[in-house]
Chains A and B, each alone.
Chain A
Amino acid sequence: MPGSAAGGQAAGARARRPLRAVSALTFLVVAGVAVAASLITDDAIRNQDRLILRERTGEAAAVLGSAFSGSQASLQLLGTLARSGQSRARLFTAAARSITTSSRQAWMVSAEQGPNARVIAAAGSGLAVGALLSTDHERLADRALSVSGLVTGLVQEGSARWLVLGLGRSAGPGTVVWEMTKVTPKATVRLAASSPFGNLAIAIYASARPSPATLVIATTRHLPLAGVQYPFRVGADTWLLVAQSPHPIVGALAEAMPWILLAVGLLAAALVTAFVETLGRRRDYAAALVKERTASLRSAIADLEEAQAQLIRQERLAAVGQLASTVGHELRNPLGVVMNVLYLMEAGAGDDPDGPVRRHIATAKREISAATLIVSDLLDYSAGRQPILAPVRVSELVTEALSVAPPPKGVQVVQDGEPQASIDADHDQIRQALLNLITNGYDAMPDGGTLTIAAASAPGSVQITVTDTGSGMDEETREAIFTPFYTRKARGIGLGLAVTKRIVEAHHGTITVRSAPAAGSSFTITVPVAASLASVPR
């Protein structure tokens, strides 16, 4: 039955196929969410990074600013010292030296003398006392005297470049006190990794714009920097601090977070898709199983209905068969008596073989024979008995059959082959089989023809072939003729060939048919010469 193997078949029937639409959609949605989350996180982290960088830069600028406030205070103090008494230059120099922290540092005081400005006090490796200021320096001095607070600038003195901070009027009218630091902008400064700004690349410009000419100091050669620009006040001037972070300030984990989110999201998408796909396939599988089971149930119900109908038919048939059997048996005695009476009438009917009485008797005998054959077939079909075997000659059987069923008008009977052949058979049954074949042959030739009965011996078996020259059969008919109750004749109940086949097979023989429309039919019975069944001694 299909039910038992339904699971396997359902699983096998589902061919390998791509993801279904709902699964693909699920993947796209979840993956899309993952990508969006990744992008948003990335953006947020970049913003955070920039914000922190800005804060750091601001802090750095504040530190620088406070350093310059310190410088301004120092210059104010130095100016005060330089103004007091005769020994002012000495005091200045001594104070300046005491606050000098590097050989690159120099201190001096300039004063306006006519159109020029000259150095009136100096400490460190700067300009000597009495020296004139350079043009750039002079211009700065003019600015220092015109503004309050520090002025700043870069001044080239020979090969040296100085960062100068000037505080005007602190040593008296027309004076400027200077702090000068030799700078080499091309040489990068390394910040210790432990310093608060150690992880930043920084460039400081003594101007509001990042110009190479105003570069004071840088921690990298790779200028200009693309990071945060933070202007801040140094005295009367605006400086610029540019900072960039070569590594994310927020940390490697934060920087990796968008990628982690993306990976986790895609993984989740794959898992959810697999889950949805599994659910879908299970649902399909269940649906297919239900469909199959339903179909098999329907088919089982149909089978059951058919079986029930068949049972009812069989019961009816059995009841009819029972009746037929009883009636058939009861008819046998009267038929036998009538046959005997006809025999006696024939014996007393005079010598004229063509006399009317003999003709009537012949007709009665033929009809009684037909009735007998029908009764025999019916009884054999409803309660077929096993053959009781005895040696019998084929010729004897043929002669008897022809005497029971003489050929009708227009039909010629030809006997052929080896009619002397002998077989072990149930005389009455084989005669009944032959009678069926012979009368069928007659019926197939209503307009006359030739019926040939041929016997042939083969080692261990005998063949009896009954051939007519009648209407023949098509393939469909040929396949149906051994079916009980199948008949094409106006007279008869359609049991003849079914019973003939049963009889032949009970003798361990076979029956075959060759036929074509309008080409006649040929039935061949093959039975073993000696059977192993019980035989009646004769």
Chain B
Amino acid sequence: MSGAAILVVDDEPGMRDTLVAILEHHGYRVSSAPDGESAFSAVRETVFDVVVMDVRMPGRDGVSVLEEIGDPPPRVILMTAYTQEDRLRDAVRAHAFAVLHKPFETHRMLSLIADASQAGR
């Protein structure tokens, strides 16, 4: 299962960097983007198996990026620190693979990414 291509999108450098480090530690090929616009460009240039993306970001938010790249591939796991119900329902409609509420257990995040990359194969 290792070797899957993962894109981590978060405007918070601390979160982004630690996620990248954890995923690399588990053998994934990891890229990262600091905002929705860069994420969208990255997805158009490269084929990713899984995108792990924050919902609230400056400029385009995670849900609008999800809506534009369409459903799979890649599988999109959204992360949120906020309870924006409308936005989360939009995410569900746009076929988000899962929604993770921050702060989340690292084990749970890893198990979801494993499931998502398996589903993409």
Contact = CB atoms under 8 A, between A and B. Distances in A.
Interface stretch (B30-38, B39-47, B96-104): B96-104
Interface string A325-363: 000011011111111110110010000000000000000
Given A344-B25, A383-B83, A336 B102 contact: yes
B14 interface: yes
30 contacts: A329-B82, A330-B81, A332-B102, A333-B14, A333-B81, A333-B102, A334-B14, A336-B15, A336-B102, A337-B12, A337-B14, A337-B15, A337-B18, A338-B103, A340-B15, A340-B21, A344-B18, A344-B25, A347-B25, A379-B83, A385-B85, A385-B88, A386-B85, A388-B89, A400-B105, A400-B107, A403-B105, A428-B101, A536-B98, A538-B97
A388 B18 contact: no
Given A335-B102, A538-B115, 4 more contacts: A333-B15, A336-B15, A343-B106, A400-B108
Contact of B104 (A336, A384, A385): A336
A263 interface: no
A69 to B, nearest CB: 139
A537 B101 CA distance: 17
Contacts of B81: 329-330, 332-333, 336
A25 interface: no
B92 A534 contact: yes
Interface of A: 329-330, 332-341, 343-344, 347, 368, 372, 376, 379, 383-386, 388, 390, 400, 403-404, 428, 534, 536-538
B99 to A, nearest CB: 7
B108 A536 contact: no
Nearest to B116: A538
A335 B103 contact: yes
Nearest to A341: B18
A506 to B, nearest CB: 12
B22 interface: yes
B50 interface: no
Contact of A403 (B14, B102, B107): B107
Contacts of A347: 22, 25
Given A337-B14, A340-B15, A388 B104 contact: no
Contacts of A403: 105, 107
A340 B98 contact: no
Interface of B: 12, 14-15, 18-19, 21-22, 25, 81-83, 85, 88-89, 92, 95-99, 101-108, 115
Contacts of B102: 332-333, 335-336
B103 A332 contact: yes
Contacts of A332: 81, 101-103
A333 B96 contact: no
Contacts of B19: 340
B12 A343 contact: no
A362 to B, nearest CB: 14
Contacts of A385: 83, 85, 88
Contacts of B18: 337, 340-341, 343-344
Contact of A404 (B14, B88, B105): B105
B103 A336 contact: yes
Contacts of A329: 81-82
A428 B103 CA distance: 11
Contacts of B15: 333, 336-337, 340
Contact of A333 (B12, B97, B107, B108): B12
B85 A536 contact: no
A347 B21 CA distance: 11
Ranked 8 nearest A-B pairs via Cβ? A340-B18, A336-B103, A332-B81, A337-B14, A343-B106, A335-B103, A385-B83, A336-B102
Nearest to A344: B21
Given A333-B12, A334-B14, A340-B15, A538 B98 contact: yes
Contacts of B83: 379, 383-385
Interface centre among B19, B97, B101 (most CB of A within 10 A): B101
B64 to A, nearest CB: 19
B105 A388 contact: no
A344 B106 CA distance: 10
Nearest to A390: B98
A535 B39 CA distance: 27
Interface centre among A337, A368, A379, A384 (most CB of B within 10 A): A337
A37 to B, nearest CB: 93
B96 to A, nearest CB: 7
A130 to B, nearest CB: 162
Contacts of B115: 538
A522 to B, nearest CB: 27
A347 to B, nearest CB: 6
Nearest to B16: A337
Nearest to B98: A536
A230 B7 CA distance: 151
Nearest to A339: B103
B40 to A, nearest CB: 22
A390 B104 CA distance: 17
Contacts of B106: 339-340, 343
Nearest to B80: A332
A344 B92 contact: no
